[in-house]
Structure 1
């Protein structure tokens, strides 16, 4: 711990310029992108399987939706095209997280457990950010093609979508991906205290599956927990509600409030974990 305290004046002396730090970060990002592309090309067979199975699952979701709506015109307040937008939004948000963070989160847990964070903690960049965006999942970019095509197909069939609705949709899709990142980061942070956090790391993915359905399809108690306390359902429902004009301002404002609070909680948790890590090492 004294070593890391003693290194801070050295950091400030060596890297006094914010411009240098921005240059350092951008250089690292370019490096990470190159490494991710190289890894994608090296493990072509694995990447191909990921793309194929992701595409198959997306197609199965579409077929399942078609079957559902062959028996009804409305499911929990969503018509056929709105439901297609919902499941494509679910897949797009998941894909954004996978592209940016999934590999980094898997590596971060291993680095914490192996005691390999030392160098990252003394670099002139935020240690949490550099470890969250250090490797990109290139295959997920290709896997996103079917959900994106599905979204635009369904959106063109709906005549009541406004320009502002589209803008807010994009904003809240990014917020949804950010919340999903926070949820994963929250469980990854437990690696500072738990030696085998493997089962915990799978919880966010299981929770996110609830977001593939309309909020109203679930029981009231379930809605309270996963739309208000842990608003995982809101990550997809709120963007679709904004896009289709089904605006519930109470839901939106509280959802934004929870994201802010959860951001602070995850950051505080990370700082506590880093303190424990440095004192242990």
Structure 2
């Protein structure tokens, strides 16, 4: 590596570090303002009698987010052990709307390298490349769940990573008053190229700084390699009436070159 290349890497790392520092400061300021508003607007509110506060999430529970939630409501008397998480979504909210099996959610640690090969391998806490996975509610009575292979539509064996398929009376079978909305079938030829679209509210110069941050964040949090990063203006990503991102429309817009992006980076 030439000296000028090394200097460029150092400058890039420094710019990313400064942006992360500003983001952490903004988060701390936002948290402080939120706590101040809560103290002003919730005077006389006592949450010390709350025995179970179930936070419904569409993704795997994040321990840091649960701890931040407990810390935010601590001043109102909410006990951290009363807070738990459960899986659900806007369409099927009550798939797993039941608290954890005990006051302290079960946490296991898995090998991130095995996850990249669609395998689940348990490791000890503190092991290199370990990822904490926290319990996300109990399965309700009458609910049947399998870990399925979406290609073969059959169940997978132990330690294999797949999709969670749920069969229960709580599953939504349609929508009311959803006139004019057709069902989108997300079945199409695809490649292993992952495209990430990011909306930016700022200057075009900041778009260049976002690319390495997005690439690194997706790799560290989701263990996926980003092929293309597309930075667009606010409001470009299409959403439906329920506030859900319409990824099929977004994909079509990208392939048809209709996004009018601020900047496109190819990491291939």
Q: TM-score of the superposition, structure 1-length normalised? A: 0.24
> Whose strand fraction is larger, Structure 1's or Structure 2's?
2
User: More relative contact order in 1 or in 2 (CA 8 Å, sep 6+)?
Assistant: 1
> Whose helix fraction is larger, Structure 1's or Structure 2's?
1
Report which of the two structures shows the higher radius of gyration computed on alpha carbons.
2
Q: TM-score of the superposition, structure 2-length normalised? A: 0.25
